[in-house]
């Protein structure tokens, strides 16, 4: 889900998508568990944690919206459903992903 009212540079978006795909497959083929990777991220610079956390929150919001609009299938149904429950339970406390860049 793109920021409302903001034009998307599709070349930048495609480059970011390709880099994210490479990161995902690096993680998949890593010998580290998801917990180990989470621990490693927790040792990153605090600003990097804030930036990554904002990205994770934006992803959760995106998947929740996909679920609400029925834009999912069996391959991503579980993550969309979990994201929808997270956002639903947070209600008005859900952050708008505008975490400060410190």
| Short-list 15, 101, 99, 23, CA closest to 61 | 99
Is-contact 5 12, C-beta < 8 A?
Answer: no
**Considering Cα of 53, then 100, then 19, then 68, what sign does the dihedral take?**
positive
Confidence of residue 1 (pLDDT cuts 50, 70, 90): very low
Tokens 């998801």 appear where?
Answer: 34
Give pLDDT tens digits for 35-93.
998 999 999 999 999 988 988 998 999 999 999 999 999 999 999 999 999 999 988 88
Entry pTM: 0.78
Give pLDDT tens digits for 2-44.
555 567 777 888 888 899 899 888 888 888 888 998 999 999 9
């Amino acid at each position: 889900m793109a920021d409302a009212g903001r034009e998307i540079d599709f070349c930048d978006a495609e480059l970011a998508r390709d880099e994210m795909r490479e990161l995902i497959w690096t993680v998949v083929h890593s010998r580290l568990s998801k917990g180990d990777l989470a621990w490693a991220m927790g040792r990153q610079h605090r600003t990097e944690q804030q930036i990554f956390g904002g990205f994770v929150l934006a992803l959760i919001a995106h998947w929740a919206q996909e679920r609400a609009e029925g834009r999912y299938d069996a391959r991503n149904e579980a993550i969309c459903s979990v994201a929808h429950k997270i956002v639903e339970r947070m209600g008005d406390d859900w952050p708008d992903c505008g975490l400060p860049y410190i």
